[in-house]
Structure 1
């Protein structure tokens, strides 16, 4: 199985590479620059240089699965959020379907289910995530959607929940646990066709993501 990681240079992307390499796999890592290519190669991935804002269809050649964990980042403006988090994700879905990919794992965000209910200051972000998720849901491409809470750099707890915590301060999850959840979804056919909110919790990945 060959998995393409779109957004491989990001924090979750790098953690996912390490996780899959530890399982004996060599994921394909899509990055934008030569310096990034060397970094993901050092982690054990097969780098491919391509840009979400351009034509990247060739990056999917020979891939069985795709993980989309790219993001414009908090330091960019709404224009980049539209181009990467929404339009780039939608293009990736279309490319995956054209390539006959068996599973597309979308790393979305809490709030994407209802942008109107979230904070106004990030509404442009959650709207973009919702539109990308909706495009995947309508596409006919086999999918799994993860909607993690606030991301932290804490060590993995290996315990999660898909139930929304009642306290906003508890709506968080370590990035490492998101990477481990992605790996679980890639290896568990029962997760195909599912949308999961994802927070730190008390359940194993197998118990929570079934």
Structure 2
């Protein structure tokens, strides 16, 4: 079978702009809970797309750690490629794909760092090995070998023991959304797409998009 012949007809559910919540964060909470109950593998996994100063886009999968009316939050190394990108261009796109439910959620907005207190709280809630790994790894930098990376980790372990300190270059980002789209697969590629856009007064508007 050729790649062109690989296709699936979606038929699990439908999505109406009339039946969705007035607030997209509330709607996201409903879908996220349904993905969790459906035992979707890592329902908190999302793609983060950034654009650097050179105009080149880049995307990667990260794990969301919190969402609320303030936005969507995750944690990373500020000196990584994505950190360098958002320092130049503070607008990003997020994507959740829950293939088992035939659903996607697309989120666009402006990014900001969370407070040091929020970064501290999450960093010290992580397993010790993850704390040490965050210190040891110079994320997105080249390394000579796996052995070199493991040596960096062991050196960090010897230095900090059981009481590592959160490095200044590691912490949280929050995306403040201004566009959120909910996509539900439907038969014949006539998919349901409901788009929320935030107006200047902070209110959300809903509309249906053609597939």
More helix, by proportion: 1
Q: TM-score, normalised by structure 1?
A: 0.24
- Larger RCO: Structure 1 or Structure 2 (Cα < 8 Å, ≥ 6 residues apart)? 2
More strand, by proportion: 2
